[in-house]
Every structure is written in structure tokens, then in C-alpha cells.
């Protein structure tokens, strides 16, 4: 009996120590809003909270493969409204990410009108819709230094990605693209994980061409991390859709970084979300847009692409793409696995969630 | 004879329970802790039933099998297909309790179904029930109105970048850009004048939203401008219209349409220059504010956070910044009367004018001059003496 108790005590100590290592402590994170999600290793979920200008890292405990069934839910907005105890018109889906550790699909939802309440909802591979409990969970947080620091200032996190770094599993950098409601500049940050208080990361301003010599530090709408040649690179898309490559090595706190515009994907358009994938040995970017559908862009020309520095004479220019005509109304997308993508699709009735083979 | 009693007794009990059908449990919303959603207590259930439920020690998965709260809306098929509201079930001293993860919504009807008779541990099997709960709507307050629009002046540079709309209450979100129109003096509506950001740029309190004029339409020669035309043109007049159809969080139209009429002036590409401001220092011993007359209107929100005053030791003087005069006048009132001495008005160089020009840096910069420049929190200063 004694030895059993002792064993239990040892296990307890071991788990506490493991927690201390990854910088997470158990508690209830004070998440006030949610605009973007990203996954780290082993079911670690990053949550971007604009209202408190904070990034939370939460251990979802969802790290076991949940099967390989395709996910498909018609009127996912109605299901979300159901579990959140409200009506469809009080549901806004802000982001969708697949947990690579389990394959379950996570949705960042705002419930209610006005500022509303944040909710993280998980769609399992058996199409169960579950609210992810954020009570008494292992978590860590880091405050984004707000450039304006005014009473009403908020940093809307538009897009995040975790880049593993170093030999220690779980260590890496979280790249965060944000948008201030009081300043126009893009606030891109590279934040070391595990979070350290002293290392909050300074804003990086990215400039891009296409308007001739004169450039503005416009906000990034969405981005994805991708290796161009040997170099870790952010492929970033902006309003009116210039596609810009930024070497990750250049992302140093406090630097003004110049991105290279390699494509103009067309005007009157907002890029909404993008992923990178491999098919038949070739890599592609898949970009969902507000007005120009879903674009499939082969990446093989990215390294050698001519920078666009002058205003192009045609509406689109630079690396070529094809529009995936059968995909309409896509607002969010993520890779479900190596062969399939999961899409959030806006229809006249509401929102559908569906799985497609990668095009 | 004995066996007969044993047989009839449960039937009698059942009959009581059936008779109790007329007195279905009543659902009561009970606020337990401030900041937490109110719980639903189902009161009026038989004490024995509650005791048996407590003894059954159901797991969350078992509770979910037998008891559910569902939004009661649409056809019976739709209600049946709807997933239950997330929350936890428990038994208190006198009630069956449902603790929703999110507060139940006023004006929404819920159906509470408990199939107690299906719980195998419950002996004797009580009847199940299905009851409705409508969370009452509080009486509506005054309708929401637009309390301010910034820039507040009636002449804006044609490259104006940012607008702020202030509201008296929470507004609906999701399709905000369709409620605001820009109409030129010839009655023509300017097509898509705003940069439509689906995340929407609300303030922390939800009472202010930021709209950006599309920057690609400001400069000559940019594709967006050539395709869609300019937004503002110097010399013309415009009306910015916030429609009543923009509903507030209680689903009511705005109290009134708001129409801001202004004329467009030439573009402003000049960086903000604090050296051109006029400072009117207060007298020692008074608590009158130091008055700063700006050379041009600056960003309303940034003025509130990017100006402060330090004393001769460099310490920040506690006090309050007020912005007025069409965002051309800023005052700083100290919390305590001024002591004679030297002071500095400190300006964060990220302070912008309405066109996005910063202190010492225009909105649009020559890319060839970027190399080696840093993003730094720099400040500019203006000295003033209090005598």
C-alpha cells in the first residue's frame, strides 16, 4: 500500500515538472475574445484575443488520432448555435484550424451580438460538435504590446502560425499578424515559445512593392509559412492581393523588413485564408479570397520569381495561378491531412463545413 | 396477500408520479456567482426522485444521454436534430440543476427534456418530463445612437485614411460596411470606399468602430483608383451616411440616420511636426490646463494616448488629456495644481494625422530609403515653463 502511494506521488511530481518545462500552468485563462487560432505540437492551441491584446497557449489534451473519416456538416452555424444555446444569427465563425495531433477541427466562434463571448468549438471526426472547456486547463499567455496603448486600442490578430525551432520538441516561434484599430501599420510579431515575459517581440513593419517606389506599411491579411528553397519564408497576402515573400530570418524585433512582391492576384479582393500542400510531388498554395474565388498557385517559381516593383499594366501579374472554379464561397480552409482539405463555405442559407480532396 | 401488496405498491407510487404530471417541475433561472451564467434549477421534483438521481451518480456522458436542453426553434425535426446546449447536470438539495457553459439568451425559448424513466439505476422508474423555458427579455433601454464621428471637421484632405464612429451602445457586427455610404455632391454614391476588413476594427468596449478609406484609391496611378475611381476629390462635397438599418445588439434600428457633410481638400502628405504647434502654458499654482494648438487635425484616438507631460526630473505628470476644436486643440489638465518650473510636452512619434502621416514620417515612404531603419518607440518634445 505504501509503495503504491509513493508511486502515485512520484507520478504527480513528474507531471508537475513536465508542466513547468513547457511553461504552462493550470488555471482558467481570461479569454475575452477570439479572432485567430494556430496549433503547436501535441494539441497545443494558440488563441489570439484582440480585446485583451493577448495570445493564449492552451493544452487541449486532444493529442490522439481521432480517425480518418471526412468531416462534413451542413449548416454548421446552426449546430454551433445549438451547442452554444443561441440562434444562428448570433454566431460568427472567425477562424478554423485542424489540430494536426488528432485531426479534429477547431473553430473560433463569437457568440452573441455586439462584442459577444468567445468560444472554441471542436468538431470531431465523428461529426460531434463539442464546446472546448477552457476551465482549469494548462495554459500560458503573452501580452502583445499595443502600439497605441489607448483605452480603446485593440490588436485584431488576423493570422498566426507556429514554426518549430531548435532541438527541443515544442520550442519554436509563433508568428502573429495583427491589425490595430488605431494605426494602419501591420504589426507582425515573432514570439518565442515557450513564452517568456521578457521576450515579447517587437513589431516588424513589412513594406511591399507594386505601387512603384512608394510603399506603404500595409497590414497583412493572411499568411502561411513555407520553405522557399532552403529558406523559411512567410508567404503573405494583402488587400488587393499582392503576394509577398518575407524571409523568416529577416524577422528581427524592431526591424523594418522589405518583402518581395512576386504576384498580383487581382483587385477588389481580400485574401481570406491560405494553406500550402504537396500533390504529386509538387507544392502549391491554396488561397481563399473574398471576390476572386479559390486560387491554386504552384510554388516552384517562387524562388526565382521576378520582384514586382512597378505598377503592373495588367490586373494580375507575376507568378501564375489557376482559379479552382468549383469552389465557391470559401471563407476558411485548412489541411485535414496530406490528401484532403476542410473548408468553411458560406451559402445563401448559412455556413457549411466540408471536406474536399486537395485540388 | 403479501405478494399482492408488494406488487401494488410500486403501481401506486407510479400513479402518484403520474398524478404529479400535472405538477411538472418548474424551471427557474438562478444567478449563483457574479460573472458566471445563471443556472437552471428544476424545482418541484419529488424528493425521492432527487435522492435516487443523486445516488445514481451519473457521469457527464450518462447525463447527456437522459437529460438535455435544446434551443426550441423551428420545426420539430429541426429541434430534434439540434445538438444540446453545452453545460453540466447535477442534483442539489431540492432541484435538478443545469449549469450552462454560456448564459441562456433572453428572448430565446429552450426545451428541457429529462427521460428519467430511461435511467436504469432509477428504481422505481419515475416519469420523464419535457418543459419549456423562455428567458425573459429585460425592458429595452433607449435606442442606440451615433454619438460622434471623427474626424469631426467639415473639411477633410482627399487622402484621409481613418474614420471613427462612436455609439451609445453595442451594435450588431458581421456586415457593418453595408450600412455606411459615401455620397458625392452630384448624388452619385462612391463605390466601395472602405477597406472591408472582415475582423472589423472595434474598440475594446465595443462602442467605437474604425473605418479605413481604401488607401489604394487615394494616389493617382494605382490600379484600384483607376478601376474604381478616387474616393474623395479636392473641391467636391460629400455626405457620409450611417443608415438607420444598422441594428444595435438588441436588434433595433439606430435612433436616427447620421449624415456628416464635408468638403474634400488637397491631399496632405506632410509628416506631423510638433515644432509647429502653439503651446499656451498655465500659471504656477493654477490647475488650468496647458493648451496645445495643433497645426492640423490629428487622429482622435491616438491624441488620447500619445501625448503626455513630464516635469524637470523627467517624471510623468499625472493629469488628463482632452481633445477638442475639431481635433486641433489638445489640453492637458494636471491632477494637482502646477508648480513653477520647466516641463516638457512629450509626443510619441507614432502619433498620426487623419491621413496616416506620422511625426517625421509621411504615410507613404520611398522604399529606397528604408534600409537600416528601425521601428522604434521614439518621442519628440516641446518645452514649456510654468511661472
Cis peptide before B238 (omega within 30 of 0): no
Residues B48, B93, single domain; the answer is yes
Which grid cell sits at A328? Answer: 465557391
Residues B238, B316, single domain; the answer is no
Interval A47-61 mean pLDDT: 93
* Among A265-274, A301-310, A335-344, B361-370, the range of highest mean pLDDT: A335-344
* Residues B78-110 pLDDT 10s: 898 899 999 999 999 999 999 999 999 999 999
Q: Does some domain include residue B3? A: no
Which grid cell sits at B321? Answer: 488629456
The domain boundary, picked from B110, B134, B158, lies at B134
Q: Return the exposure string of A152-188: e unless at least 16 CB atoms fall within 10 Å of the residue's CB, then b.
A: bbbbbbbbbbbbeeeeeebebbbbbbbbbbbbbbbbb
Domain count of chain B?
A: 3
* Residues B341-380 pLDDT 10s: 999 999 998 899 999 898 988 877 655 555 555 555 688 9
Q: Does some domain include residue B53? A: yes
Percent of chain B with pLDDT over 90: 71
Residues B286, B339, single domain; the answer is yes
Model confidence band, residue A305 (pLDDT cutoffs 50, 70, 90)? confident
Q: Dump the DSSP string for B211-235.
A: EEB-GGGTSTT-HHHHHH--S--TT
Q: Report strand pairing: B208-212 vs B162-167.
A: antiparallel
User: What residue in A sits closest to B224 (Cα-Cα)?
Assistant: A267
Q: Give the structural domain span for B51.
A: 17-134
User: How near does any CA of chain A get to the CA of B356, in Å?
Assistant: 7
- Edge-first strand listing for the sheet containing A155-164: A155-164, A172-180, A186-193
Contact B86, A122 (CB under 8 A): no
Residues B282, B349, single domain; the answer is yes
Cis peptide before A194 (omega within 30 of 0): yes
pLDDT the model gives residue B100: 96
Q: Does some domain include residue B1? A: no
Which grid cell sits at B315? Answer: 517624471
Whether chain B has a CB inside 8 Å of the CB on A112: the answer is yes
pLDDT the model gives residue A204: 61
Neighbours of A1 (CB within 10 A): 5
Residues B87, B113, single domain; the answer is yes
Model confidence band, residue B221 (pLDDT cutoffs 50, 70, 90)? low
pLDDT the model gives residue A201: 45
Model confidence band, residue B315 (pLDDT cutoffs 50, 70, 90)? very high
B384, containing H or E segment: strand B379-386
Residues B336, B234, single domain; the answer is no
Q: Please say if the pLDDT value at position B18 is more than 50.
A: no
Residue B213: give its domain's CATH number. Answer: 2.60.40.1220
Whether chain A has a CB inside 8 Å of the CB on B231: the answer is no
User: What residue in B sits closest to A133 (Cα-Cα)?
Assistant: B101
Q: Does some domain include residue B369? A: no
Residues B94, B49, single domain; the answer is yes
Whether chain B has a CB inside 8 Å of the CB on A183: the answer is yes
Model confidence band, residue B197 (pLDDT cutoffs 50, 70, 90)? confident
Whether chain A has a CB inside 8 Å of the CB on B365: the answer is yes
Q: Please say if the pLDDT value at position B149 is more than 50.
A: yes
The domain boundary, picked from B212, B233, B265, lies at B265
Would the CB atoms of A181 and B198 count as touching at under 8 Å?
A: no
Residues B285, B196, single domain; the answer is no
Q: Give chain B positions within 8 Å (CB) of A182.
A: 210, 299, 301-302
User: What residue in A sits closest to B194 (Cα-Cα)?
Assistant: A268
**A48-62, A94-108, A124-138, A213-227: lowest mean pLDDT where?**
A213-227
Whether chain A has a CB inside 8 Å of the CB on B221: the answer is yes
Residues B115, B28, single domain; the answer is yes
Q: Does some domain include residue B354? A: yes
Would the CB atoms of A86 and B71 count as touching at under 8 Å?
A: yes
Residues B286, B315, single domain; the answer is yes
Whether chain A has a CB inside 8 Å of the CB on B380: the answer is no
Helices (H), B100-198: none
The domain boundary, picked from B134, B162, B180, lies at B134
Residues B181, B202, single domain; the answer is yes
Interval B169-175 mean pLDDT: 92
Q: Does some domain include residue B34? A: yes
Nearest to B367 among A115, A119, A207 (CB): A207
∠B59-B65-B69 over CA atoms, to 5°?
105
pLDDT the model gives residue A3: 42
Would the CB atoms of A79 and B199 count as touching at under 8 Å?
A: no
Q: Please say if the pLDDT value at position B229 is more than 70.
A: yes
Q: Does some domain include residue B76? A: yes
Residues B172, B249, single domain; the answer is yes
Residue B39: give its domain's CATH number. Answer: 2.60.40
Q: Give chain A positions within 8 Å (CB) of B209.
A: 181
Instruction: Please state, rounded to an integer, the average pLDDT across all residues of chain A.
Output: 84
Instruction: Please state, rounded to an integer, the average pLDDT across all residues of chain B.
Output: 88
User: How near does any CA of chain A get to the CA of B2, in Å?
Assistant: 49
**Residue the block writes with cell 481570406:** A272
User: What residue in B sits closest to A312 (Cα-Cα)?
Assistant: B223
ipTM of the modeled complex: 0.85
Percent of chain A with pLDDT over 70: 82
Please identify among residues 48-87 of chain B the ones whose CB lies closer than 8 Å to any CB of chain A.
Answer: 69-71, 73, 78, 82-87
Q: Please say if the pLDDT value at position B5 is more than 80.
A: no
pLDDT the model gives residue A250: 81
**A13-27, A141-155, A328-342: lowest mean pLDDT where?**
A13-27
CA distances to A112, A329, B171, B258, B384 from B254, in Å? 18, 30, 9, 9, 45
Q: Please say if the pLDDT value at position A244 is more than 90.
A: no
Model confidence band, residue A13 (pLDDT cutoffs 50, 70, 90)? very low
Percent of chain A with pLDDT over 90: 51
Whether chain B has a CB inside 8 Å of the CB on A114: the answer is yes
Q: Does some domain include residue B118? A: yes
Please identify among residues 309-348 of chain B the ones whose CB lies closer than 8 Å to any CB of chain A.
Answer: none
Q: Give chain A positions within 8 Å (CB) of B305.
A: 148-151, 153
Q: Residues near B370 by Cβ (< 8 Å), separated by ≥ 6?
A: A207, A215, A256, A258
Q: Dump the DSSP string for B19-50.
A: HGGGG--EEEEE--STTSPPEEEEE---HHHH
Would the CB atoms of B305 and A133 count as touching at under 8 Å?
A: no
**Residue the block writes with cell 526565382:** A304
Contact A109, A94 (CB under 8 A): yes
Please identify among residues 222-261 of chain A the ones whose CB lies closer than 8 Å to any CB of chain B.
Answer: 239-240, 254-256, 258
- A48 HSE (CA, 13 A, CB side): 30
Nearest to B224 among A212, A218, A240 (CB): A240
Q: B250 or A202: whose pLDDT is higher?
A: B250
Amino acid at each position: 500500500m505504501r509503495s503504491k502511494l509513493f508511486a502515485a506521488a512520484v507520478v504527480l511530481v513528474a507531471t508537475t515538472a513536465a508542466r513547468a518545462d513547457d511553461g504552462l500552468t493550470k488555471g482558467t485563462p481570461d479569454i475575452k475574445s477570439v479572432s485567430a487560432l494556430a496549433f503547436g505540437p501535441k494539441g497545443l492551441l494558440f488563441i489570439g484575443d484582440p480585446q485583451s491584446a493577448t495570445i493564449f497557449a492552451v493544452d487541449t489534451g486532444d493529442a490522439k488520432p481521432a480517425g480518418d473519416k471526412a468531416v462534413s456538416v451542413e449548416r454548421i452555424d446552426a449546430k454551433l448555435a445549438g451547442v452554444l444555446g443561441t440562434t444562428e444569427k448570433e454566431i460568427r465563425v472567425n477562424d478554423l484550424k485542424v489540430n494536426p495531433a488528432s485531426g479534429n477541427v477547431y473553430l473560433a466562434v463569437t457568440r452573441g451580438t455586439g462584442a459577444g463571448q468567445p468560444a472554441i468549438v471542436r468538431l470531431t471526426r465523428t461529426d460531434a460538435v463539442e464546446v472546448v472547456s477552457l476551465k482549469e486547463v494548462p495554459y500560458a499567455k503573452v501580452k502583445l504590446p499595443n502600439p497605441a496603448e489607448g483605452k480603446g486600442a485593440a490588436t485584431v490578430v488576423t493570422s498566426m502560425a507556429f514554426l518549430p525551432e531548435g532541438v527541443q520538441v515544442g520550442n519554436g516561434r509563433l508568428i502573429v499578424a495583427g491589425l490595430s484599430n488605431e494605426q494602419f501599420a501591420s504589426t507582425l510579431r515573432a514570439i518565442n515559445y515557450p513564452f517568456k515575459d521578457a521576450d515579447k517581440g517587437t513589431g516588424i513593419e513589412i513594406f511591399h512593392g507594386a505601387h512603384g517606389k512608394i510603399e506603404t506599411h500595409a497590414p497583412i491579411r493572411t499568411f502561411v509559412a513555407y520553405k522557399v528553397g532552403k529558406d523559411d519564408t512567410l508567404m503573405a497576402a494583402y488587400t488587393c492581393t499582392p503576394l509577398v515573400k518575407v524571409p523568416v530570418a529577416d524577422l528581427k524585433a524592431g526591424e523594418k523588413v522589405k518583402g518581395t512582391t512576386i504576384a498580383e492576384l487581382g483587385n477588389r479582393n481580400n485574401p481570406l485564408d491560405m494553406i500550402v500542400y504537396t500533390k504529386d510531388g509538387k507544392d502549391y498554395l491554396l488561397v481563399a479570397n473574398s471576390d476572386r474565388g479559390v486560387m491554386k498557385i504552384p510554388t516552384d517559381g517562387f524562388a526565382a520569381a521576378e520582384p514586382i516593383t512597378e505598377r503592373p499594366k495588367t490586373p494580375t501579374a507575376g507568378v501564375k495561378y489557376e482559379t479552382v472554379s468549383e469552389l465557391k464561397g470559401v471563407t476558411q480552409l485548412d489541411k485535414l491531412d496530406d490528401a484532403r482539405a476542410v473548408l468553411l463555405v458560406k451559402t445563401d442559407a448559412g455556413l457549411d463545413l466540408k471536406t474536399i480532396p486537395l485540388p | 396477500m403479501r405478494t399482492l401488496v408488494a406488487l401494488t405498491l410500486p403501481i401506486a407510487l407510479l400513479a402518484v408520479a403520474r398524478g404529479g404530471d400535472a405538477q411538472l417541475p418548474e424551471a427557474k433561472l438562478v444567478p449563483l456567482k457574479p460573472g458566471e451564467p445563471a443556472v437552471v434549477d428544476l424545482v418541484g421534483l419529488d424528493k425521492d426522485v432527487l435522492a435516487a438521481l443523486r445516488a445514481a451518480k451519473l457521469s457527464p456522458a450518462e447525463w447527456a444521454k437522459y437529460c438535455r436542453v435544446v434551443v426550441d426553434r423551428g420545426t420539430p425535426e429541426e429541434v430534434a436534430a439540434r445538438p444540446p446546449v453545452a453545460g453540466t447536470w447535477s442534483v442539489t438539495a431540492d432541484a435538478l440543476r443545469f449549469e450552462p457553459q454560456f448564459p441562456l439568451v433572453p428572448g430565446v425559448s429552450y426545451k428541457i427534456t429529462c427521460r428519467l424513466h430511461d435511467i436504469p439505476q432509477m428504481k422505481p422508474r419515475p416519469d420523464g418530463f419535457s418543459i419549456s423555458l423562455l428567458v425573459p427579455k429585460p425592458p429595452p433601454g433607449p435606442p442606440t445612437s451615433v454619438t460622434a464621428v471623427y474626424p469631426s471637421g467639415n473639411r477633410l484632405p482627399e487622402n484621409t485614411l481613418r474614420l471613427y464612429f462612436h455609439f451609445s451602445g453595442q451594435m450588431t457586427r458581421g456586415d457593418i460596411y453595408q450600412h455606411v455610404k459615401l455620397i458625392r455632391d452630384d448624388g452619385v454614391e462612391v463605390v466601395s470606399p472602405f477597406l472591408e476588413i472582415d475582423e472589423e476594427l472595434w474598440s475594446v468596449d465595443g462602442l467605437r468602430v474604425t473605418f479605413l478609406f481604401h488607401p489604394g484609391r487615394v494616389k493617382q496611378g494605382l490600379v484600384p483608383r483607376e478601376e474604381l475611381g478616387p474616393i474623395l476629390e479636392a473641391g467636391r462635397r460629400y455626405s457620409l451616411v450611417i443608415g438607420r438599418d444598422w441594428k444595435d445588439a438588441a436588434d433595433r434600428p439606430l435612433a436616427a440616420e447620421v449624415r456628416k457633410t464635408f468638403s474634400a481638400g488637397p491631399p496632405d502628405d506632410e509628416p506631423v511636426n510638433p515644432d509647429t504647434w502653439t503651446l499656451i502654458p498655465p500659471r504656477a499654482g493654477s490647475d488650468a490646463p496647458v493648451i496645445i494648438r495643433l497645426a492640423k487635425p490629428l487622429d482622435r484616438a491616438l491624441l488620447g494616448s500619445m501625448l503626455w507631460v513630464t516635469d524637470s526630473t523627467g517624471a510623468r505628470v499625472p493629469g488628463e488629456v482632452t481633445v477638442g476644436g475639431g481635433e486641433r486643440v489638445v489640453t492637458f489638465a494636471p491632477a494637482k495644481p502646477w508648480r513653477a518650473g520647466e516641463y516638457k510636452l512629450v509626443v510619441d512619434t507614432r502619433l498620426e494625422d487623419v491621413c496616416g502621416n506620422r511625426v517625421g514620417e509621411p504615410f507613404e515612404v520611398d522604399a529606397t530609403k528604408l534600409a537600416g531603419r528601425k521601428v522604434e518607440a521614439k518621442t519628440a518634445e516641446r518645452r514649456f515653463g510654468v511661472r
